[in-house]
Amino acid sequence: MVEDSAVTTHTDSLPPMLDAARANSRRVESRDPATGEVWREYDSASPSDVARAVAAARRAQPGWAATPVRERATVLERFRRALYARRAEVAELICRENGKPPSEAMGTEVMLVLDFARFYRRRAPRLLRPRSLTPGNAAFWRKRVHITHEPFGVIGIISPWNYPFMLASAQVLAALVSGNAVVLKPSEFTPGTGVMIGELMRQAGLPDDVLHIIAGDGSAGAALIAGDVDKIFFTGSNATGLKVSRACAERMIACVLELGGSDPAIVLEDADIVNAVSGIAWGRFSNAGQTCVAPKRVFVVDGAYDAFVARLGETVAALQMGAGSSPDTDVGPVIRPQQRALLESQLDDALANGARIAARTPAGAGHTSGDGFFPPAVLTGVTSEMRVMREETFGPLLPVVRVRDADEAVRMANATQYGLSASVWGRDVRRARAVAARIESGSVSINDSIIQAGIAEAPHGGIKQSGSGRSHGEAGLLECVQTKTVIVDLVPRLREPWWFGYGPEQARGLDAFVRMWHGTSIAERAGGVWRSIKMLVRHERPL
């Protein structure tokens, strides 16, 4: 999903014990992707720094867990209000570190985090409250089942640079309201955004040491995973995700992984072409194409193909490229020059093997010259052997494939190691839902794209090589707790009929109960009633 040379934050937000003034520490640079300008530097946490942060979080966690969930939710509400008051400042920071345009920083980052804070503030007290139930089997008539949700303890979060505020905050908010302490390691490409999360939480009155932000590259992430944490949330590439999974397995701790995707978009013959082009173009090229759930392979049914490609070409040609700080920018820079180099190599591979550029955004007015800009491109004539169809293309490069019908589209959509998300476009929503049901992915949008990762109530995650576990929604909240069951016997003086003391009478009684409870006729069930009652109220002491 993202380049994993990057996961970090700002030592200004670390507790004093981490000594942010280490003179010989390697520095982490925050750069403006449009210009390459280094506008701030951060000390990179060492493994011992990470260990101290985790230890401080562990000391603080019991007190935070003992705080009633409604009071923890109140901290989230204060966070939401603080973010709302500082929304312009936060959006400006995101634009500078990530390069996305102001509308995207506000609409796909700040607004969504406000939604997540409100959702978890409202939902957590109800979802996490203890509940009791009576078993459905009459043999357990004396039992009461009490279910509670307990925090893991200390959760480590390694977050990406492509949506540095939204993706990190959504997991932090869920983990905190569940009673966990958190050590967050944001990307080394967007450290200031991670620091901002810590500042807003302090402003909201979160107790000291419940949240730590650590700066560093992959070595700091490795130290966090190897440290005394109880669960890891990781968002990044498949290669790194596999290493994270193995490291967590060696320690027997749980992890949630949101990894790469090569999400298909299927355009049916009855699709509204104007709407489909507009939605797919926005989903693919917004955030400079650096979106995990973006449409990365488009399969258009033959009857709609020519009109779709023609309209898409017009749309792409009209896009404006520029620095993220400009309000007129549609598509900003990719995060780093090496990301552009990777996209160029994928494009070159496609062209060398027969693909054609059907449309491309002009690199003219508004386009800041520099290695961070990759003009959006549409490819036709692609085949399944090309890298753009096999690999994740994390940037504004979009292959469009003509298919005979929906069946062929589904087969090609599923012919991938990935299974993060997808979209289906068609006026007949019932038919579109039937197509969506056949796609192998964690989520599917119908007549929209990438929205699935931004709805607070919707679980987000993938299948196959796109990861495991879920973030967001109730499922994301439940990923942050361990379910505990306590079963109480209300009549402890009675022995259980299945305890030792086996014999013919006990066997007949158990068979009678099975006939009474599961018999296939009224007579069969009635015939077992008396012996069943006698068995269930036996007073003999157990062996």
Q: Which of 302, 234, 322, 278 is nearest to 450 (CA)?
A: 278
Report the alpha-carbon distance of residue 366 to residue 186 in Å, rounded: 30
- Residue 182 identity: V
Catalytic choice (95, 248, 255, 292): 292
DSSP code, position 218: H
Report the alpha-carbon distance of residue 463 to residue 372 in Å, rounded: 32
DSSP code, position 18: G
Contacts of 188 (CB under 8 A, 6+ apart): 5, 6, 7, 8, 28, 29, 44, 215, 216, 217
Other beta carbons less than 10 A from residue 70's beta carbon: 12
Catalytic choice (3, 109, 258, 474): 258
Q: Which of 161, 214, 231, 226 is nearest to 468 (CA)?
A: 231
What DSSP assignment string belongs to 275-302? HHHHHHHHHHHGGGG--TTS--EEEEEH
Cα-based distances in Å from 510 to 332, 425, 517, 521, 526: 71, 57, 11, 18, 14
Report the alpha-carbon distance of residue 118 to residue 111 in Å, rounded: 11
3-state secondary structure of 217: coil
Q: Which two tokens stand for residue 426?
A: 């068609």
Q: Which two tokens stand for residue 324?
A: 């993220």
**Which residues are bridge partners to 181 per DSSP?**
154
Please provide residue 360's backbone torsions phi and psi, each rounded to the nearest 5 degrees: -155, 140
Report the alpha-carbon distance of residue 323 to residue 202 in Å, rounded: 31
Question: Would strands 397-403 and 377-380 be described as parallel, antiparallel, or unpaired?
Answer: parallel
Report the alpha-carbon distance of residue 433 to residue 431 in Å, rounded: 5
- Residue 212 identity: H
Task: Say whether 479 is catalytic.
Answer: no
- Ramachandran sector of residue 78 (left: φ over 0; alpha: ψ -120 to 50; beta: rest): alpha
Task: Say whether 258 is catalytic.
Answer: yes
Looking at the annotation, which residues are catalytic? 258, 292
